[in-house]
Structures are given as C-alpha cells and as structure tokens.
Amino acid sequence: MNTIAVTTYRRPQFLALYLERLSLCKELPNYRVHFFVDVDYDPQILEVIERFANSNAAGDVKTTIRTERRSACPAAYNIFDAYLVAAEESDEYVITGEEDIHPSEDFLRLCDRTYHKYLKPYDKIFCLAHKVRADMATIGDPSLLVGDHQCTSPIVVSCKDINKYLKPHITNPTFLANPVTYNNIHFPASRIPPQDHYDHDGMTERIMEAHGLYALKPDQTRTNHVGFFGQGHRSMVSPEFDDRPLDERIDEIRDIVVDTEKLQEALIKEKPGAAQNPGDWGLVAGSLEDHKWDDLDLDLDRNKATASHWYYDPDNGFKEYVTRA
C-alpha cells in the first residue's frame, strides 16, 4: 500500500474540505492516509481526522503529531520528515497533500499512472509537481504532461528517489536548522540565492538542480491552492467565523472553495493590488472536475500543451534525455 502524506496545521475547515475532495477519488481505498500534524495545531484538526478515519474512505489512516519545530522555515521539517516516514511505509511511492491544496477527482489516478509510466522507468524524472500557479486557471489537455527542471512542489515521488536524493540532506541537522549556511556549502552554484526560497519547495528544487533532475507538470491543473484566508486575511469570512461550530465554518467556506469563480474572487480580495494581474501573485484557481483521459503522454516537442509553460530548460534537454533513456 502507498501513502498519501497529508501535512496539516491550524485550519481544520480546510482539512475537512480537502478530505471531502480526496474522498471523491475512487482509488482512495487502495491508499494509506498518514496525517502529519504540526506543532501548535488547532485541536479540531484531530476531530476532522477522527471523522475521516471513521468514514472508512481510505485503506488505512495514521496520525503523527509533532512536539517540536526543527526548521528555520516553520513548515519545512513537518513536510520533509513526512517524506521520510511515508517512504518507509509505502510500497513504491508517496503522494503529498496539504490542508489547503485540494485535488481533482482524477488526482490519484493521475499520480499512479504518472509513477508507473514515467517516474519508475526514468531515473532522472524525480516527480510529478503542481502546475505553476499563474497557469492554473488556463484549461489544458488532461492527458498531457510537460517536463523541465522547474519544480513548484512535488505531488508524487518514488520511495527510491526520496531515499536517494532527499534523505541524505534531510537527515543533516543543518539542512533545516540553518538553511542559508547549508545552501552556501552544498549548493554554491545554484540559480537560487542561498538566502532566498529556503522553504521545502526551494530546498527540493536545489537538490533537483544539483542532480540534473526533471519534474513533470500536468497541462490541466489537478490541484487548487484554496487558502484564501488565514492569519491576517479575514475579509471573506464572517466576523464571528472563529466562534462558530466547526461544521458551520466548513459550510461557510465550502461554497467558495468548490466554485472556481468565487475562489478566484476570494484569493484576489486578500491581496490588494493583485486584481490587475493575479497570476503574478499566484492567485489563480483552476477546475477540479473529474477530467477524462485514457492515458498520459509527454509533450516532448513542446507544441501541444497550451496551459503549462517550460522553465530552466531552454534547449529541451528533457526531450533528449527521454528519447535516449
């Protein structure tokens, strides 16, 4: 059985809606869902997890609760250690999940097919990743994947690659505790300055860059970043939101989360000045319907995909690698 590693923190209403979306994937009974609850979590997170476990939607449910924060970037340790724990218990691959990144109905099918068709046979294809946020709202071909060196954040990674590429860094205490120093020592030639982007996304991209690895991204988005409110961002929820019972809070935001146009409005409203060009802010919502496709294909010649762009691979070394592998 493979694991979906879900990191969560302080927004139980988003986690509940994430699990509603995930439960629409008919393949979910084949998976273990392992929750990684960060330090200082909202206690109602555990209530949401218990409800999900009692629903018997997944093949297995586990929970790890963090007792200390071990990274300079607050969420980095919780996410990176989740990779290692999940890789130990999974048969072949790990799927990542976050409380405010919600999946499409064909999400698990996409992950499994991508792993078996591309990640497993190609050593240098490290992961399937989320689309670049600026591209999310553009409708693409659900059967197409693009490949390059840019990685927004991994969706599915093989256990083999987690242990080969990520584990040697994650198990070094300096990697998370003092990432700027670590980056200066281990990634001096990176295109990313050592003091920038040292969250788990940036650190993963540095590792990929150092090993010449590639990431795949879908032409049609399969995930939405729905975190339209949080600390300091309250305009789209009622003034009494925090005092309402959990089920009422879930109901209040459900209508926004599941409606692409309302979600887009909510994301932009929280960032003054973003309305003119929301893509620059990453505030773009895409469709999470059950996309129809028979099989997946790579756009090696870069002439088919219309809703995803290529980065950091101007000479299309990805095509050369795949055709020679």
pLDDT in tens, 269-304: 666 555 555 444 444 556 777 899 999 999 999 999
Residue with tokens 């919600």: 102
Residue with tokens 């670590």: 182
Please state which CATH number belongs to domain 2-224+286-324: 3.90.550.10
- Residue 143, class by beta-carbon neighbours within 10 Å (0-12 exposed, 13-18 middle, 19+ buried)? middle
Helix (H, G, I), strand (E, B) or coil at 260: helix
254 and 17 in contact (C-beta within 8 Å)? yes
Q: Quick one: pLDDT band at residue 258, thresholds 50, 70, 90? A: confident
130 vs 218: CA distance, rounded Å: 7
* pLDDT above 90 coverage of the chain, percent: 74
Q: Give the tokens for residue 317.
A: 């070394």
- For residues 250-266, give the mean pLDDT: 78
Q: Quick one: pLDDT band at residue 262, thresholds 50, 70, 90? A: confident
- For residues 42-67, give the mean pLDDT: 97
Residue 268 has pLDDT above 70, yes or no: no
Average pLDDT, the chain: 90
List Cα–Cα distances, 165 to 177, 206, 212, 213, 287, in angstroms: 19, 11, 11, 10, 33
User: Tens of pLDDT along 128-158?
Assistant: 999 887 787 788 999 999 999 999 899 999 9
Q: Quick one: pLDDT band at residue 114, thresholds 50, 70, 90? A: very high
What integer pLDDT is reported at residue 235 of this predicted model? 59
